[in-house]
Amino acid sequence: MITVKVVKSEKVASAFADSVKKFSKLPGVCLLLTKPYSAVKEALKKKGVNAEKIFFVDAIAESEENNVVHVQPGNLTALSITINQTLQSLPPGKKFFIIDALSALTVQNSVQAVQKFSLFLLERLRKWDAETVIIVAKESADAALLAILKQGADKTEEK
Amino acid sequence: MRKTFVLAALSVLVFAILTLVYITRQGNELVLTWVGDIAPMLLSLSAMLACWFAYKAIPKEYLRESRGWFYIALAFLFFMVGDVYWGYSEIFLKVELPLGSFSDLSWELAYLMLFIGFGFVLRMMFHSEKKVRWVTFITALAAIIFISIEMKKYLTTGNWIEAIQDSYVLYDIILLGMITSLLLPLIQSHNRLMNVWLLFGLAVFARIIFDFLFAGMTAIGAYATGSFIDLLYAASYVLFVVSADAKLKMLPAHALTVLRGEK
């Protein structure tokens, strides 16, 4: 199931932490586009989630941690390969994938490129059968991008 | 232990023996022919098996990548058939196969399968249209220039059989375009999860360099089994096997160690 959460910018972090907590019993991958792993780890700890058991694709900063890989957010091809490889590497069965927060990709890429990337990702995530949460900051989201995400998702939550 | 790891270890061993023989036995035509012909057979067999294991191990939800490995395994089957017939003719029939032989047919099919497999691999990734458009344009331009030059040559000499030899160079120009689309983004932003495709890209690149050198040396009559460029051909197979092994390491049974960066 793919869920799009459209939240105010200041609530992105809590929406992300809540989503991770919800799925924390499953193996999964988080794509970090707004905060580095070091900051996210602490926030998750406060929620009682052990971040070390989750795999992170960190597009903000490099990390020495074993459960983190870094990808430049401007390189959508590298990002697509990394997401593919990490999800494929998880044990068979239920898994989750959470993006914090997709709209941030438009900072380093054109809006059209991110729209195409979103379509690509939605199609793949559906095939890979991952419980997906895509968090989008209300203020920074392009209207067309938001429309694509909402149309591709099974459920939209706006807060 | 992974089957592909065993194949990778065997391939490295065969490559080491081949290198040693090529360095120490230059001038001994019999040894060079035997070793130079048998090593590629073993290496292409290893590459075919390794890619087949990768195909079988990839979860079916990842259809494009799985099909990619299937067609690449098929490509190595055809490379192997071509290598075996080439070796059989040189060792037992004592003839060097002319252009247009059964081996050429098999290798032509191998390239076709490699294109299809590589196509599936590229389609599993997201590509920015702008970059792809540029790479496609430059590749098409290079291919058209090459075909025009070669056509002019055939029309002058009437030697159309050379087109088979030149077709390998044409395939390599196309492969070079494909490999650029794969390697450029990986070099720009690399992490340990991309090693599979980096190794895969290097394998194709080694094959391309070999083909260019082979075509050049054959054109001036300077190639014979035992030439040092054969090592590039062998290295390409080894890199394909290592790439398939890296792929298997990524899959659920072994993945946690890779995801966590452990050895």
Does the domain at A2-158 match CATH 3.40.47.10? Answer given as no
* B174 close to B119: Cβ distance less than 8 angstroms: no
Listed in sequence order, the residues at least 6 apart from B120 whose beta carbon sits closer than 8 Å to its beta carbon are: B64, B65, B67, B68, B71
Instruction: Tell me whether A105 touches chain B (CB under 8 Å).
Output: no
ipTM for the assembly: 0.83
Residue of B nearest to A112 (CA): B128
Distance (Å, whole) CA B212 – CA B166: 9
Are B261 and A81 inside 8 Å of each other by CB? no
Helix (H, G, I), strand (E, B) or coil at A143: helix
Distances in Å between the Cα of B252 and the Cα atoms of A91, A93, B98, B132, B149 are 5, 11, 47, 32, 50
pLDDT tens for chain B, 263 residues long, are 889 999 999 999 999 999 999 999 888 888 888 998 999 999 999 999 999 999 999 888 888 899 999 999 999 999 999 999 999 998 888 888 877 889 999 999 999 999 999 999 888 888 876 777 888 889 899 989 988 988 888 888 877 777 887 888 889 899 889 888 888 888 877 788 888 888 988 998 999 899 889 888 888 888 888 889 999 999 999 999 999 999 998 876 555 555 555 54
Query: Domain map of chain A by residue range?
Result: 2-158
What residues in B contact A66, CB-CB < 8 Å? Answer: 259-262
Name the residue facing A70 among B191, B251, B255 (closest C-beta): B191
| pLDDT (0 to 100) of residue A53 | 84
Burial A93-131 (b: 16+ CB within 10 A, else e): eebbbbbbbbbbbbeebeeebbbbbbeebbebbbebebb
* Distance separating alpha carbons of residues B65 and A126, to the nearest angstrom: 16
pLDDT digits (tens, 9 = 90+) for A39-62: 898 888 888 888 888 899 999 988
> What type of residue is B156?
T
- The answer to whether residues A115 and A144 touch, using CB atoms and an 8 Å cutoff, is yes
Q: What ranges do the domains of chain B cover?
A: 3-259
Interface residues of chain B, partner chain A, Cβ below 8 Å: 58-59, 61-63, 65, 124-129, 185-186, 188-194, 196-197, 250-252, 255-256, 258-262
